[in-house]
Amino acid sequence: MDLAGLLAFNVLTGIATLVLITLGLGVIYGMMRIINLAHGEFMMLGAYTAVMASGAGVNIWIAMLVLPPLVVGVIGLVLERTVIRFLYGRMMDTMLATWGVSLGLIGLVTTLYGNVVRGVSTPVGSFDIGRYGASLYSLVIMATALGALAAMFGLLRFTKFGLILRATMQNPRMAAALGVQPNRIYMATFALGAALAGLAGGILAPISGVSPAMGAAYVARAFITVLGGGPAIITGTGLASGLFGTINELVSFKTTPVIGDVALLAAAILLIRLLPQGITGRYLRRSL
């Protein structure tokens, strides 16, 4: 069945995309309990970085995979120092402030670059699944998503920074008692989350139009996938992306992308109602 192959391929692409757009939000939410509503705009900044850099003649792979996380990570760091750090422990206020940051970034980019849709071309070609054509670039997305998950796992599991992160996550006061400054950790975490969002923006730039308001299309999906996944960042993001991505792609194929999106969101609401702690809050609690 060529069609089944194509469908499976699309489902995997959808899952990988969801993993990429969710991971950065999940890191910030999981570690700091901050719902970062500027996440979509961090992606937008990543996409702009990719477009600008490739326009300036930088190698496309560097422009997509290296520069966006660096640039957006630094921007995240600056925002954490200037806005977010004053609001720790005030969940609603951080939500509102990051929302303000989101609107402000849309406005700023519109003012600087105009409300124009830009794009970079896909750096790789296509291949055939039986008699159907499919984009090789989807493989790049899958590889990046897997790479990002693996890197996060490695970071949390095997490095000192990861150990400190996990400790801070469990109990900030305990970590402080061990001589770790929670502030430093939060700063680094926020920058890391921003960098991951930037990476997602950079990698998705070639297949979606890059415009100041592009982030809005992603944030609700990313948001609800994080909550559906629950506290274990990597396992949770992976499982929730798998579930929602499959639902989205299959329903989209059978009906329309709108109904596909609605199905994703409705499934997520049901999941949260049944498992308020998310998938990994109920099961697999010991995972990362």
Partner 1 sequence: MTPTVFRPSGAGLRSAAGFLATLALGLALLFGAPHTLDTFGLVQCTGFAALAMFGLSQGFVWGFAGVMSFGQAAFLGLGGYAYAVAVLNLGDSTLPVLCAIAVPMLFAALLGYFMFYGRISDAYIGVITLTVSVILFQLVNATSGSQYRIGAAELGGFNGIPAIPALNLPGHPGEPLDTDGIWYAAMGALILVYVVLRAVLASRFGRVVVAIRENETRAQLIGYDPRLYKLLAFTIAAGVAGLAGCLYANWGGFISPTVFGLPMSAQVIIYVLVGGLGTLVGPMLGAVLIQALIITAGSQSVLDSNLGLGLVLVGFVLLVPQGLVPVLRGLSWRLIERRAGKAAPGPLATETAR
Partner 2 sequence: MTRGAMNRREALKLGMAAAAGTVSAPFVSRAGLAAEPIKLGSLLDGSGALGLEGKRMIETTEYAVELLNKAGGLLGRPIQLIAYDTQSTMQLYTQYAQQLALKDKVDVIQGGITSASREAIRPIFGRSKTLYFYNTQYEGGVCDRNVFCTGSTPAQTVNHIVDYGLKNWGKKAYIVAADYNYGHITASWMTKFMKDGGGSVAGTDFFPLDVTNFSSAISRIQQAQPTLVLSALVGANHSGFYRQWDAAGMKAKIPLASSVFGLGDELTTMDPSTTDGIVTCYGWYNDLDTPASKAFVSGMQAKFGADVTDLSELDTATYEGIMFWAEAVKKAGSVERDKVIAALEGGISIESPTGTVTMDGATHHTIRNTYLARPKNRKWEILATFPNSFPADTGGACDLLKNPRMNKQFTPDLKG
Binding stretches for partner 1 (CB under 8 A): 35, 83, 86-87, 91-93, 95-97, 99-108, 110-111, 216, 220, 223-224, 227, 256, 258-259, 261-262, 265-266, 268-269, 272-273, 276
Binder of residue 283, out of partner 2, partner 1, none (CB less than 5 to 8 A by kind): none
Q: How far is CA 255 from the centre of its chain?
A: 26
Q: Which two tokens stand for residue 275?
A: 């498992």
**Min dist. Cβ of residue 172 to partner 1 (A):** 18
**Partner in contact with 183, chosen from partner 1, partner 2, none, beta carbon below 5 to 8 Å by kind:** none
How big is the CA angle at 161 (ends 189 and 222), to the nearest 5 degrees?
35
Contact indicator for 237, 226 with CB cutoff of 8 Å: yes
- Residue whose CB is less far from partner 1, 101 or 191: 101
Q: Shortest distance, CB of residue 219 to partner 1, whole angstroms?
A: 9
Distance between CA atoms of residues 186 and 188, nearest Å: 5
Q: Which residues bind partner 2 (CB under 8 A)?
A: 3, 6-7, 10, 13-14, 17, 110, 114-119, 121-122, 125-128, 132-138, 206-209, 211, 213-214, 216-217, 249, 252-253, 256-258, 260
Nearest-approach distance from CB 10 to partner 2, in angstroms? 5
Torsion, Cα of 101, 76, 71, 213 (10° steps): -30
Question: In this complex, which beta carbon is closest to partner 2, that of residue 89 or of residue 125?
Answer: 125
Q: Which residues contact 98 (CB under 8 A, 6 or more apart)?
A: 34, 35, 36, 37, 38, 39, 84
Residue 34 near residue 89 (C-beta atoms within 8 A): no
